[in-house]
């Protein structure tokens, strides 16, 4: 088993393809001058979030739980490809332990949140090979899913990196996951779907006080039944083990550093995302977005997540290039002070 924190406060950075002993409490968090940070300041410095995207041919659902120690956020939205965002839920509150149960072990955990008519329950077990979702947002958007997911067959990308000299971040990404069973309803009507797939993101650690990133992820089943997905990030974790990979029929290919070429002043123009090795060269055409700005005492965020279609070329290791078009997914740029 891969141990997160070793002797003498050594963080065992790496790309991790085995079960992990997530002994984060053994880590001594140090300030700029090497003095240990303890108590509530250390607790507030540890952040964790879990995002799940469900992508079908007719619509897309995204939802997440975010815990920052001093506050929590649970959000969800439903994007209809013809109508755009037709539903959005966003709950923000102070504290998290009593209001948002968020297990801190990426291999085996439970997330539970309840507020009014809203509930979100996520359980994940690599040993049992299941990711299970039971969600009801205000009685309007409901999601139930059982998704096969384990280290051996799903081959997630799991990397542990320094956030800065005295901090670290672990993240696990995977796409696509194909549900064993799934049900999505909105306003009491069951939504039909074809070719449904899931993308997954769990991250936790002592992130930088100022954190920025570009992110792209997509998931889909092509007309020839090929399963395809990717996770690509920039501005975060490039120095050691980056967060870039794509999956074709369950086979993972890790990628070199990627470049996000887009117009920040007009992000609805097509994006190009590529790397120098030529293993990824894709375009993204945005169709809609979810955005949020927070300017508070402890936190400031500027966030825009776009939904749209990806097309392009992926070149797996020891395989033929795969050309694809019109696969739905997300891009995002995010600035945070937390």
The pLDDT tens digits along the chain (338 residues) read 999 999 999 999 999 999 999 999 999 999 989 999 999 999 999 999 999 999 999 999 999 999 988 889 999 999 999 999 999 999 998 876 678 999 999 999 999 999 999 999 999 999 999 999 999 999 999 999 999 999 999 999 999 999 988 999 999 999 999 999 999 999 999 998 889 999 999 999 998 777 788 999 999 999 999 999 999 999 887 779 999 999 999 999 999 899 999 999 999 999 999 999 999 999 999 999 988 776 766 677 778 999 999 999 999 987 899 999 999 999 998 777 76
**267 and 307 in contact (C-beta within 8 Å)?**
no
Integer Cα distance of 74 and 305 in angstroms: 15
Task: Quote the CA–CA distance of 48 and 316 in Å, as a whole number.
Answer: 31
**pTM, full prediction:** 0.94
Give the Cα separation of 256 and 25 in Å (integer): 32
């Amino acid at each position: 088993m891969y141990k997160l924190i070793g002797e003498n406060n050594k963080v065992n950075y790496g790309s991790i393809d085995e079960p992990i002993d997530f002994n984060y409490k053994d880590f001594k968090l140090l300030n700029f001058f090497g003095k240990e940070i303890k108590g509530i300041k250390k607790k507030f410095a540890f952040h964790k979030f879990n995002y799940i995207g469900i992508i079908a041919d007719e619509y897309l659902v995204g939802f997440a739980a975010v815990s920052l120690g001093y506050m929590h956020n649970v959000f969800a939205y439903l994007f209809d490809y013809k109508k755009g965002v037709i539903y959005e839920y966003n709950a923000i509150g102070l504290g998290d332990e009593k209001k948002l149960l968020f297990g801190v072990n990426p291999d085996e955990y439970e997330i539970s949140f309840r507020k009014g008519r809203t509930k979100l329950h996520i359980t994940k077990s690599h040993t049992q090979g299941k990711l299970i979702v039971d969600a009801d947002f205000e009685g309007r958007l409901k999601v139930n899913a059982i998704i096969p997911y384990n280290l051996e067959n799903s081959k997630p990308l799991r990397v542990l990196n320094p956030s800065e000299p005295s901090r670290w971040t672990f993240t696990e990404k995977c796409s696509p996951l194909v549900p064993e069973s799934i049900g999505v309803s909105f306003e009491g009507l069951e939504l039909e779907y074809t070719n449904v797939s899931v993308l997954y993101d769990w991250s936790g650690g002592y992130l930088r006080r100022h954190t920025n990133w570009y992110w792209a992820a997509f998931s889909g089943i092509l007309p020839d039944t090929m399963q395809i997905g990717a996770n690509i990030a920039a501005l975060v974790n490039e120095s050691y083990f980056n967060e870039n990979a794509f999956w074709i029929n369950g086979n993972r290919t890790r990628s070199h550093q990627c470049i996000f070429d887009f117009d920040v002043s007009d992000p609805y123009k097509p994006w190009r995302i590529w790397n120098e090795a030529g293993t990824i060269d894709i375009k993204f055409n945005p169709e809609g977005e979810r955005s949020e700005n927070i300017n508070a005492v402890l936190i400031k965020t500027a966030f825009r997540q776009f939904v749209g279609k990806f097309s392009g070329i992926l070149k797996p290791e020891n395989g033929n290039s795969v050309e694809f078009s019109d696969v739905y997914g997300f891009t995002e740029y995010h600035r945070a002070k937390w």
